[in-house]
Each structure stands twice: as C-alpha cells, then as structure tokens.
C-alpha cells in the first residue's frame, strides 16, 4: 500500500527537526488539498502520455515528419469519410457483431475488427491533435472521434458485453487504443463519457487480470495489461488503479528459470516454449520504457533494484539479436509470417528490419531511466545500427510511429554521440535453444528445438509452415550484403522443407502441423553446447516433427568459418531426407554467379545438377562452401512462387516470385546412417574459398558418428567435440555426454570449456 503525502504534509515531515510542533490542518481542507494534488498529478501524467504517444522535439515542417504528418491527415480524412455508424459496425469493412460469438477463428476476426475500429479512432484523434496534418483542430474530425467512441461503447465495448473471439482484443488491443484516445481528447469528453469508458475497461480488465502471474498475464502481456490499468487510472482519476499497475509489474522483472520471462543467459520466452525476443520481447521492452518514462518522478514511480535486470537485458538479451538495424527472425516466432496483410490499405511489408527499428527506439527511450553511462553506451549502439541499415533505413520506415521516428532522428542529429561498431563474439542461449555468432563482416544465428523449446509456433492462422525452423536453421548476414536475405519475400516463397542448415524429411505435413502456441516439443534433451564467448561447439539431437527422422547435428563456430557436421541420420517415413547446405534468396533477378571447383555454372532458371565429388562452391556476392574430402551435392536454381496467404491466413493473396540457389545433400529415402560435412564461409571470395579447400589440413574431422562429432583446426589451436555418449575422440576421453571446446594459446596454455547440454 502506498501512502499519499500532500505537499503540506511532506513539508511538515521534512522540517520536523527544526520545529517542535505543527498546527493540524482541518480534515476538510486536507481532503480538498489531496484531491487537488491528485487532479494536478493526473493532469501531469496525461500530458506526459500525450508526449510519449505523439512524440516531441521534431519540426512538423521538416522531413521526414512533414510527409508523415501529411500522410496521417490524408489517412484520417479517408477514414472520416468512410465512417458510417450502424448496427454491428462503425466502418462497413470492420463488422464486429459476431452472429455466433465464441472463440473460433471467425470470432477472432470479429473481435479483431473491434480492435481495429478503436485503432482507427486513435488515428483520427492523432490527426486532430498533431500539427501539420491538415486536419489539426478540425471540428468535424473532433465530432467524428466523439461519435465513434460513443457508438462503440453503446454497441459493444461496455460493462454489459460478454467478450468473444480473441481475449487480446478485449483486454489489451481495444482498451489501449481507447485510453490513448481518451488522453488525446480528454478536454472534449464529458465526465459521464469518461466514467462510461472507464467502466467498460474495468469490466474487461478487472483487477483480477493481474492477480496471478500465469496464463495470458505474463511477460509482454503483463506489461500490456499494466499499461491499460495505469492509463485507466490516469484517465479516470484512480490512484488505486495506477498503484496496481505499478505493483503488478513486479513479477516481470526477476529472472525466471522456467516459463515466460527473461533468463540469466539472455533468453526471453513467451507462450511457455517460444523464443520471442524480437516480437513479444519488443513489446515488453517498449512497454516498460513507456511506463518507466510515464511514472518517473510521480507518486507511482517504478523503483527497486529488480528493474536493473531490464536495463542489463538491453545488452544481455536484445543486442545479440540486432544486426544492422534488423532483429533476427529466429527469435520472432510466428511474426515471421506477417509480411503483407490483406487488410493493410498501404500494403507495407513487415520484415526483420521493420521489427528491429522499434526495438532500437525503445532502447533509446529506456535509456531515460537508466544510468548516464548505460544510456550513453546504448545511444552509441543504436546510432551504429541505424547508420548501418542500408537495406531498410529506419528514417524511411513507413510503419514506425512518429514518437520512435523522433527519438531516432534526435539521436542521429546528436553530434556528441559516436556510433559503436557491431560487437563480435559468440552467445549461446541454452534456455531457448538459440545461438548467435558475430564476426567482423558478418553475423549468424542458429535455431534449434528441445523438450523445453518448441519446433515452431503457429496460432491465429499464422506461420502455418514454420515446421522446420527449429531443425538447425542457420541464418547469416553480411555487413554490407545479404541484409535483405530473409526480408525480401523469403518466407512465402522459400521451400519450407529446405531451410538453410536444416535436416528434414520430405514427408508432407499439414498446415499448422503439431498444434497451436508451440504445443509440439521434440522429446530430446541433448541440445546446446559450450562457448568461451568467441568460438563455440554446439550440437542438436534432432527428432523430426511428426516424423521418424533422427539425426545428430553439430556446428563449430570459428573466426571466419562455421564447420557443420551431421551423422546418424535415419528415417522410416518412406520419403527422401535432405540436409540443406544453402538456400539463398537471390531476389527477383537472381543473377549471382555460382562456381563449383573453378567452373562457373549456368545462370539459367530452372537449372539443376548433381555435383559429384565437389570440393568447394561459391555464390558470388554471398560466400563460400567447402566440402572436406569431396561430397555429392545437389544444386539447383529455381524460381519459386508464393503468397503471404499461404503461410498466414490474414496475408495478401498477391503472387510473389523469387529466385533461389539451393545446395543440399540427398540422404535418400529412409536412410539408416546418413552423414554430411561442410564449411560455411560467409563473405568469402571465390579465391579464398578455393584456397581453404586446397588447404586439406586446415580442419580435421576427428569424429562424425552417431556417438561423437568433433573437429580440430591446428592453425587456430581449436578442438571441439560433442560427445553424444561417453567415449574417446582423439586425445579426449569423456565418461558421459558432454560438449568440449579447447583453445590452445601461443604461450603453451589452453582454455578448456566443458558443458553438459542435457536439459531436464
């Protein structure tokens, strides 16, 4: 319980040492003072929230703000002209009246339309308040907003309505937009309207929504619910609601050892089994930044040592997955399927860059509540990421909000901040079966699955074919190339059974196979590895989704190379099994040269060839591949067509075409002991790739069996072995399953790292 002090009471207490007594304040006067102070403080907080959601420090006559504000006005004008209050809808294309209210997919759509209706009113309100929209202060626009609020309240969002469809629309989406509009239009609303709208929020988001830290009230969802409660308190003048919002954030801060939240190793989990740093994690980071800024300096300031965990997570959890402005897809869950939405009139394609930019801006905002040292370093990191995002410059991001845009513009204009280069090193996130490897000139990310981490997440009709994204998917990007590799319509056009780095059965799977919300987990517990922070040895015991496929996969992350091994590959699905060495998205034209053992292959589409005894291959402008001792690899160029609606029921039905260059090892139908070995060299030239292949002693494969996998690189003093079972590999003897990495130094010493990846 928080004790409220009046100004007079505070002054009395603070001067008690100098005064022997004070005259009591009449009870009625004190109550009036407290009420006046509360009203003043709520007004201050409403003003702060307006600034947070509208932005500050930008000129409405300077670009990119001038154009964005004009676009906001144009959009608002169109929405105002099409708004037509009627039974069951506020806009004809957003019918929210559900003829059969329940929680099926159709009902999700109706509840989503309610959410969208409030979002449109929010757009109208912003156009009314923001300068330079062409509709600033327009009385007819004001009337439209107020009419819309009353219509939605009387029709559907009120204390007598039973929710249907998606809980999120009723508890987070709609009330957040509604309360934002209430703040923006506060001076135009009557006391009765405010009371009615607050009563509706209280009905759908009661105090009990945050009573227990479980279900849909954890992690990012909990932060969103607390935002609703805080704004409801500020709009409705309830100290208790704001205090509840502040206190209900407490379970979000501590590290967790299972379920949703932040882990000590930097992992972030939502929906119990899904790595979600780039999507729900973005919501959590942005939401906390907003609430910290809103309540800072107020009666309800968020204090306490546990909030430092959030500050530490900027570099511990988020920074490892940010590269040149993008956030890596391996920690964005089903959001990877949200490209072009069928309902988006602007047809803005969402991707890893557009998801990354709000995270950058949220880090800047969070810095306002952190230490001076932390804030300065974060600003340097963000400035570097913004400046290096050549593929999708944040200042041109059509989806990022004006407040975030203003924060990034202010940072870019700040000459006292020097941009910080991309960090190098390896990070292993054992609690979410992910790893990142960052070297000068490139970065990579690895996605796996185990008994705690799902194969993939589907739900709400999204990410319908993400089946194999946890089967050893190895993403990689260059510093000045390949940053659009997974942004440029990759997910709707790629062969979902040939994702780079994965081993998969060609068994036909149904859309959303395995169940919604990360329900399907492989029954394996040897997934992980060991690292010294620069190099790593990582392994995955792979069991296929709804398949009999079994495989042992290992990756050894080195200075300019990733050594990839596979063994014990077996399956009885009656279908072919393949390991995809590479499946590079070459864009709409696809004219990158492909060279194998010094011979340039045809640029024609389609083209395919079995590369028998291949020792090395190179994709121009991308990188090189070495096959120790030679390998039989199938290669093809193909034009693939797909639609976002193929992988997301709400996606655009427009056909897209992209050209791919694919290399894969065909293990045959129902293999019993398949293997593979190859080196990935991101950014290498053809000459560098050829030289590495010619240096046959550069890497030695010590073991590549169902029991152990290991390599040694004498020139680096590196040895890495994954013992799936105890045994002997070279000079190493293990009595039990473990992962071992040795880095020998020039002075005769060595760093030895050992881990037990078995998860319980």
Compute the distance between CA of residue 199 and CA of residue 206 in angstroms, rounded to an integer. Answer: 10
Compute the distance between CA of residue 674 and CA of residue 577 in angstroms, rounded to an integer. Answer: 9
524 to 5, 13, 542: CA distances (angstroms): 57, 62, 7
Q: Which residue would you say has higher pLDDT here, 266 or 11?
A: 266
Amino acid 199: pLDDT: 98
Q: In what order do the strands lie in the sheet with 274-275?
A: 261-262, 268-270, 274-275
Compute the distance between CA of residue 714 and CA of residue 88 in angstroms, rounded to an integer. Answer: 72
**For 582-592, what is the mean pLDDT?**
97
Own/partner pairs, 392-395, CB within 8 angstroms, 24+ separation: 392/325, 392/326, 392/351, 392/353, 392/354, 392/357, 392/483, 392/484, 392/487, 393/325, 394/325, 394/357, 394/360, 395/64
Q: What's the whole-model pTM score?
A: 0.91
421 to 180, 236, 325, 378: CA distances (angstroms): 37, 46, 12, 12
- Local confidence band at 57 (pLDDT 50, 70, 90 cut-offs): very high
Compute the distance between CA of residue 564 and CA of residue 472 in angstroms, rounded to an integer. Answer: 10
pLDDT 10s digits, 480-489: 999 999 999 9
pLDDT score of 35 more than 70? no
Amino acid 16: pLDDT: 31
CB contact at 8 A, 292 and 366: yes
Amino acid 105: pLDDT: 86
Residue entry with tokens 């600033």? 136
Amino acid 758: pLDDT: 80
pLDDT 10s digits, 618-642: 999 999 999 999 999 999 999 999 9
CA neighbor of 419 nearest in space, from 456, 366, 382, 466: 382
pLDDT 10s digits, 100-129: 999 888 999 999 999 999 999 999 999 999
- Local confidence band at 345 (pLDDT 50, 70, 90 cut-offs): confident
pLDDT score of 92 more than 60? yes
Amino acid 4: pLDDT: 32
Tokens of 283: 């919501």
**For 580-586, what is the mean pLDDT?**
98
Q: What is the mean pLDDT of the chain?
A: 94
**For 55-83, what is the mean pLDDT?**
96
Instruction: Tell me the CA end-to-end span of the chain in Å, nearest whole number.
Output: 40
pLDDT score of 552 more than 50? yes
- Local confidence band at 31 (pLDDT 50, 70, 90 cut-offs): low
Q: What is the CA radius of gyration of the chain?
A: 28
- Cα 422-425-430 angle, rounded to 5 deg: 120
Amino acid 32: pLDDT: 59
pLDDT score of 420 more than 90? yes
pLDDT 10s digits, 220-250: 999 999 999 999 999 999 999 999 999 999 9
- Local confidence band at 346 (pLDDT 50, 70, 90 cut-offs): confident
Residue entry with tokens 């990689």? 476
State percent of the chain over pLDDT 70. Answer: 95
- Local confidence band at 173 (pLDDT 50, 70, 90 cut-offs): very high
- Local confidence band at 6 (pLDDT 50, 70, 90 cut-offs): very low
Other beta carbons within 10 angstroms of residue 647's beta carbon come to: 26
pLDDT score of 688 more than 70? yes
Compute the distance between CA of residue 362 and CA of residue 206 in angstroms, rounded to an integer. Answer: 28
pLDDT 10s digits, 442-467: 999 999 999 999 999 999 999 999 99
Catalytic residues: 221, 271, 280
pLDDT score of 5 more than 90? no
- What is the per-residue burial (b if ≥16 Cβ within 10 Å, else e) of 374-397? bbebbbbbbbbbbebbebbebeeb
Amino acid 39: pLDDT: 74
- Local confidence band at 304 (pLDDT 50, 70, 90 cut-offs): confident
CA 621 to chain centre: 28
Amino acid 10: pLDDT: 29
**For 132-157, what is the mean pLDDT?**
98
- Local confidence band at 348 (pLDDT 50, 70, 90 cut-offs): very high
Amino acid 37: pLDDT: 65
Amino acid 34: pLDDT: 56
């Amino acid at each position: 319980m928080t004790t409220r002090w009046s100004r007079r009471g505070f002054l009395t207490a603070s001067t008690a040492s100098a005064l022997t007594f004070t005259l009591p304040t009449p009870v009625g006067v004190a109550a009036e003072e407290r009420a006046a102070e509360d009203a003043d403080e709520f007004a201050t907080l409403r003003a702060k929230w307006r600034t947070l959601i509208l932005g500050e420090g930008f000129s409405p006559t300077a670009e990119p703000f001038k154009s964005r504000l004009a676009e906001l006005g144009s959009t608002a004008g169109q929405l105002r002209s099409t708004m037509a209050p009627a039974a069951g809808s506020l806009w004809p294309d957003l019918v929210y009246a559900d003829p059969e209210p329940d929680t099926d997919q159709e009902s999700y759509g109706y509840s989503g339309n309610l959410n969208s209706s409030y979002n449109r009113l929010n757009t109208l309100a912003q156009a009314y308040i923001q300068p330079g929209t062409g509709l600033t202060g327009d009385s007819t626009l004001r009337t439209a907003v107020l009419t819309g609020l009353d219509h939605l309240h009387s029709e559907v969002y009120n204390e007598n309505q039973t929710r249907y469809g998606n809980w999120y629309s009723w508890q987070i989406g709609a009330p957040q937009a509604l309360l934002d509009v209430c703040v923006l239009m506060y001076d135009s609303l009557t006391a009765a309207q405010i009371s009615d709208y607050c009563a509706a929020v209280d009905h759908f988001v009661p105090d009990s929504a945050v009573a227990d830290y479980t279900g849909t009230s954890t992690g990012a969802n909990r932060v969103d619910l607390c935002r609703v409660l805080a704004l409801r308190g500020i709009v409705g003048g309830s100290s208790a609601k704001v205090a509840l919002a502040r206190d209900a954030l407490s379970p979000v801060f501590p590290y967790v050892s299972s379920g949703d939240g932040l882990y000590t190793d930097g992992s972030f989990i939502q929906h119990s089994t899904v790595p979600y740093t780039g999507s729900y994690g973005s919501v959590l980071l942005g939401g906390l930044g907003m609430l910290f800024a809103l309540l800072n300096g107020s009666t309800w300031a968020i204090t306490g040592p546990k909030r430092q965990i959030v500050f530490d997570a900027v570099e511990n959890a988020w920074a490892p997955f940010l590269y040149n402005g993008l956030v890596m897809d391996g920690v964005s869950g089903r959001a990877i399927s949200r490209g072009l939405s069928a309902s988006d009139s602007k047809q803005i394609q969402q991707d890893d860059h557009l998801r990354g930019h709000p995270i950058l801006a949220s880090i800047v905002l969070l810095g306002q509540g952190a230490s001076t040292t932390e804030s300065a370093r974060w600003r340097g990191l963000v400035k570097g990421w913004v400046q290096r995002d050549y593929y999708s410059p944040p200042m041109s991001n059509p989806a990022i909000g004006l407040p975030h845009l203003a924060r990034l513009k202010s940072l870019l204009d700040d000459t006292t901040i020097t941009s910080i280069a991309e960090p190098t090193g390896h990070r292993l996130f054992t609690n979410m079966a992910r790893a990142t490897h960052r070297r000068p000139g490139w970065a990579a990310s690895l996605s796996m699955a185990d008994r705690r981490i799902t194969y993939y997440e589907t739900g709400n009709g999204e990410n319908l074919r993400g089946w194999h994204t946890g089967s050893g998917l190895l993403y990689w990007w260059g510093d000045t190339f390949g940053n659009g590799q997974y942004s440029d319509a990759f997910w709707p056009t790629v062969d979902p059974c040939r994702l780079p780095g994965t081993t998969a059965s060609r068994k036909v799977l149904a859309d959303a196979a395995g169940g919604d919300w990360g329900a399907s987990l492989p029954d394996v517990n040897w997934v992980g590895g060991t690292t010294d922070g620069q190099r790593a040895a990582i392994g995955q015991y792979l069991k296929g989704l709804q398949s009999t496929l079994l495989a042992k996969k290992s990756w050894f992350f080195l200075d300019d190379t990733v050594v990839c091994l596979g063994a014990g590959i077996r399956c009885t699905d009656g279908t072919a099994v393949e390991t995809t060495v590479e499946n590079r998205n070459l864009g709409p034209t696809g004219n990158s040269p492909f060279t194998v053992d010094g011979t340039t292959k045809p640029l024609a589409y389609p083209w395919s060839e079995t590369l028998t005894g291949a020792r090395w291959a190179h994709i121009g402008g991308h990188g090189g591949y070495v096959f120790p001792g030679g390998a039989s690899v199938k290669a093809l160029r193909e034009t693939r067509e797909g639609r976002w609606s193929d992988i997301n029921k709400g996606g655009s039905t427009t056909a897209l075409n992209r050209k791919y260059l694919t290399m894969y090892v065909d293990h045959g139908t129902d293999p019993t002991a398949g293997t593979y070995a190859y080196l990935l060299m991101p950014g290498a030239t053809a000459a560098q790739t050829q030289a590495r292949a010619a240096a046959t002693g550069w890497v030695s494969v010590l073991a590549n069996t169902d029991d152990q996998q290991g390599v040694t690189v004498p020139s680096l003093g590196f040895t890495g072995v994954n013992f799936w079972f105890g045994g002997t590999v070279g000079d190493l003897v293990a009595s039990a399953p473990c992962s071992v990495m040795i880095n020998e130094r020039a002075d005769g010493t060595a760093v030895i790292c050992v881990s037990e990846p078995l998860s319980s």
